[in-house]
């Protein structure tokens, strides 16, 4: 596996999706790197608009690109807004990756997701398991769009020699998360639901599904640190999983969140809501071989995430 030092110092670094949870964590993390961070608001450039993206790239010519922009959501959003998830995410990936190539970007990192792996693949999930089996139905459109982005990065490396890499993050949480009652991921959803139940003195709180699926959670500032680290040290066609290396059942996780929020009521499960894939623990062997490990424990991360929720603007 190639480990080629890439010096970020003094470079013009474009963070696509800079207002999002990962994008804002990347901006925080890159502030320590002596780079010129370049961003553009969605109201100015909709990354689904190819002409606008090509014009902007030709003017700004970012040297490095973190492609964190995407249509993102939890299991219910993915399962209901299926056309939006595939259209937006294929459009964003194709426009930004091609624009980076056309304008000579020295390096680009595409952010995929752990949902690209087959629904029932052996665990933990290794990077070579992509496309070895059927995908999880609830987020298949999103996963197909992410796989397209991965394949584009590989194809541009093969045909044009572009140094475009792809990383596969596990479930992420932390400051700047999306707290939408239906469309959020489980961490933000339960922080908000338990907090509101505590404030209202509600006797019980419902958690979707059976509580039996297992999930791995990585604090978003660890994710940003891993991305900057890999941008500096990794250059290759293969994917790199970014994870915490351990998982937990949703039932145990809900208990953890209730404890952090100090909610004392009952937790009841709603089996009519989708469980999604039973497990998606990432194999982080490649990441550790490259010298990076997650530092924030789930207990500490949840405390910080709850504080961020309480102080969010």
Ligand X SMILES: C[C@H]1O[C@H](OP(=O)(O)OP(=O)(O)OC[C@H]2O[C@@H](n3cnc4c(=O)[nH]c(N)nc43)[C@H](O)[C@@H]2O)[C@@H](O)[C@@H](O)C1=O
Ligand Y SMILES: NC(=O)C1=CN([C@@H]2O[C@H](COP(=O)(O)OP(=O)(O)OC[C@H]3O[C@@H](n4cnc5c(N)ncnc54)[C@H](OP(=O)(O)O)[C@@H]3O)[C@@H](O)[C@H]2O)C=CC1
Give the active site residues: 142
CA angle 243–256–295, rounded 5-degree value = 35
Tell me the residue number closest to ligand X, measured at CB. Answer: 74
| Closest CB to ligand Y among residues 68, 287 | 68
Q: Are 16 and 42 in contact (CB under 8 A)?
A: no
Instruction: Write the CA distances from 249 to 145, 216, 280, integer angstroms.
Output: 27, 9, 11
Report 171-210 residues binding ligand Y (CB under 6 A): 171-172, 178, 185
CA distance linking residue 311 with residue 175, whole number of Å: 10
Residues that bind ligand X (CB under 6 A): 74-75, 78, 113-115, 139, 142, 171, 184-186, 189-190, 207-209, 213, 215, 250, 273-276
Task: Look at residue 284 and give the partner it binds from ligand X, ligand Y, none, a contact being a CB closer than 5 to 8 Å depending on partner kind.
Answer: none
> How many Å apart are CA 163 and CA 219, to the nearest integer?
27
Is residue 19 close enough to count as binding ligand Y by CB under 6 A?
A: yes
Shortest separation between residue 109's beta carbon and ligand Y, angstroms: 10
Q: Whose CB is nearest to ligand Y?
A: 20
Order of all β-strands in the sheet with 12-16: 36-38, 12-16, 64-67, 107-111, 164-169, 240-242
Pick the closest to residue 170 from 241, 79, 89 (CA basis).
241
Judged by CB under 6 A, does residue 226 bind ligand Y? no
Binding partner at 267 among ligand X, ligand Y, none, C-beta below 5 to 8 Å by kind: none
Min CB(116)–ligand X separation in Å: 8
What values do phi and psi take at 282, rounded to 5?
Answer: -85, 140
d(CA 288, CA 243): 10
Minimum distance, C-beta of residue 233 to ligand X, in the bound complex (Å): 25
Which of 15, 17, 79, 192 forms a contact with ligand Y (CB under 6 A)?
A: 17
- Per-residue binding letters, 106-145, with ligand Y (x by CB under 6 A): -----x-x--------------------------------
State the binding site for NADP(+): 17-23, 111-114, 146, 169-172, 185
Restricting to residues 40-79, name those near ligand Y by CB under 6 A.
Answer: 42, 46-48, 68-72
**E strands of the chain, at which residues?**
12-16, 36-38, 64-67, 107-111, 164-169, 171-173, 204-208, 214-215, 217-219, 240-242, 248-249, 266-270
Handedness of CA 176, 177, 183, 189 (dihedral sign): negative
Which CB, 26 or 75, lies closer to ligand X?
75
Task: Kindly tell me which of 50 and 249 has the beta carbon lying closer to ligand X.
Answer: 249
Binds 208: which of ligand Y, ligand X, none (CB < 5-8 Å by kind): ligand X
CA 114, CA 257: separation in Å to the nearest integer? Answer: 22
- Which of residues 13, 15, 22, 250 is near ligand Y by CB under 6 A? 22
Helices 186-200 and 250-261, axial angle in degrees (round to 10)? 40
| Sites of contact with ligand Y (CB under 6 A) | 17, 19-23, 42, 46-48, 68-72, 88, 92, 111, 113, 169, 171-172, 178, 185
């Amino acid at each position: 596996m190639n480990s080629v030092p890439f010096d970020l110092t003094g470079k013009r670094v474009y963070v696509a999706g800079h207002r999002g949870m990962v994008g804002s964590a990347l901006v925080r993390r890159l502030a320590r790197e002596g780079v010129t961070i370049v961003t553009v608001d969605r109201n100015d450039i909709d990354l689904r608009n190819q002409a606008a993206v090509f014009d902007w790239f030709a003017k700004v010519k970012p040297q490095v690109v973190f492609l964190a922009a995407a249509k993102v959501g939890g299991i219910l959003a993915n399962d209901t807004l299926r056309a939006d998830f595939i259209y937006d995410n294929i459009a964003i990936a194709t426009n930004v990756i091609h624009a980076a190539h056309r304008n000579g970007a020295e390096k680009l990192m595409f952010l995929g997701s752990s949902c690209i792996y087959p629904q029932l693949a052996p665990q933990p999930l290794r990077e070579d398991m992509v496309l070895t089996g059927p995908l999880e139905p609830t987020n298949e459109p999103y996963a197909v769009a992410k796989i397209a982005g991965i394949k584009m990065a590989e194809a541009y490396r093969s045909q044009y020699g572009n140094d475009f890499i792809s990383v596969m993050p596990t479930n992420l949480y932390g400051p700047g998360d999306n707290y939408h009652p239906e469309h959020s991921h489980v961490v933000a959803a339960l922080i908000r639901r338990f907090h509101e139940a505590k404030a209202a003195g509600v006797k019980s709180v419902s958690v979707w599904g059976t509580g039996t699926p297992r999930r791995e959670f990585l604090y978003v500032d660890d994710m940003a640190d891993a991305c900057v680290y890999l941008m500096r040290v990794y250059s290759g066609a293969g994917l790199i999983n970014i994870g915490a290396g351990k998982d937990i059942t949703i039932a145990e996780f809900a208990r953890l969140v209730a404890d952090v929020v100090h909610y004392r009521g009952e937790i009841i499960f709603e089996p009519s809501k989708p469980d999604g894939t039973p497990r998606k623990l990432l194999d982080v062997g490649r990441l550790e071989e490259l010298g990076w490990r997650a530092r924030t424990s789930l207990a500490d991360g949840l405390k910080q995430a709850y504080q961020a929720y309480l102080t969010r603007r």
